[in-house]
């Protein structure tokens, strides 16, 4: 391993386990990725030199979105009346502000359509009645669930930005795998609340096993600058 670019972020375990076995888990440090970068160039520069046969490369969905130009200043978003109303009913979590501000809720409406967001809001309220969480996002879909708002802990300039979900993450994973000669690639949305696999090439593991391996949220968006990582099976 090239330890200049591979690391274990603070508080994360260097070895993880699932029913599939034991894996070394490392994060890959990169420069700040922007819309001027391409995903293939970032992978070629930072991931490809440290990958070994059998490794699984996992990539933060936010980095993919940034290379697609899906990040922009929050103050550039003009929120409508519906967004200003709905955001008041969103529960804020330690994972981030999510849709609990007018600008991010407006982005969800733009991405998914007002009708779907209203239906999702109704599902969310019904879920609260029955003590169930996550019904809003089950109806709204990944494009709403992946929206990130401004956060002081995020590396600049994204600490003042809204970042949307990546477009076609499955295609992004398959194209990245192709440039790596068929290596396993995942596009993931991982935070302290859970893990979503948005896109994946053939890695020989089912999604529940992958989620188990990544449940510690090993990547970092702040001064860690680690938007990618590897899972390496331990024999």
Check whether 97 has a pLDDT greater than 70. yes
**Domains assigned to the chain:** 6-70+166-233 (3.30.1330.100), 71-163 (no CATH)
Check whether 92 has a pLDDT greater than 80. no
pLDDT at 4: 61
If one counts every other C-beta atom within 10 angstroms of the C-beta of residue 191, the result is 16
Which letter, b or e, does each residue of 134-170 get, where b requires 16 or more Cβ atoms within 10 Å of its Cβ? ebbbebbebbbbbbbbbbeebbeebeebbbbbbeebe
Upstream peptide bond of 151 is cis (omega within 30 degrees of 0)? no
Check whether 98 has a pLDDT greater than 90. no
pLDDT digits (tens, 9 = 90+) for 155-199: 999 999 999 999 999 999 999 999 999 999 999 998 877 899 999
Quick one: what percent of the chain has pLDDT higher than 90? 74
SS3 13: coil
Contact status, residue 22 vs residue 231, Cβ threshold 8 Å? no
pLDDT at 94: 65
| Distance (Å, whole) CA 110 – CA 214 | 30
């Amino acid at each position: 391993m090239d330890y200049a670019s591979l690391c274990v972020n603070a508080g994360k375990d260097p070895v993880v386990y699932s029913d599939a076995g034991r894996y070394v888990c490392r994060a890959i440090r990169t420069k700040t990725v922007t819309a001027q970068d391409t995903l293939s160039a970032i992978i070629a520069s930072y991931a490809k030199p440290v990958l070994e046969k059998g490794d699984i490369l996992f990539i933060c969905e936010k980095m993919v979105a940034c290379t697609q130009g899906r990040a922009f200043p929050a103050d550039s978003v003009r929120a409508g009346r519906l967004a200003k109303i709905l955001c008041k009913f969103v529960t804020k979590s330690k994972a981030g502000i999510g849709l609990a501000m007018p600008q991010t809720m407006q982005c969800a409406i733009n991405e998914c359509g007002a009708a779907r967001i209203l239906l999702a809001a109704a599902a969310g309220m019904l879920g609260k009645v029955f003590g169930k969480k996550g019904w809003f996002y089950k109806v709204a879909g990944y494009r709403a669930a992946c929206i990130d708002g401004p956060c002081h802990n995020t590396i600049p300039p994204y600490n003042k930005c809204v970042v949307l979900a990546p477009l076609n993450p499955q295609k992004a994973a398959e194209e990245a795998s192709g440039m790596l000669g068929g290596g396993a690639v995942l596009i993931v949305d991982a935070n302290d609340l859970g893990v979503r696999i948005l896109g994946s090439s053939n890695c020989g593991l089912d999604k529940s096993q992958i989620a188990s391996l990544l449940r510690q949220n090993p990547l970092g968006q702040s001064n860690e600058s680690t938007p990618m990582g590897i899972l390496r099976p331990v024999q």
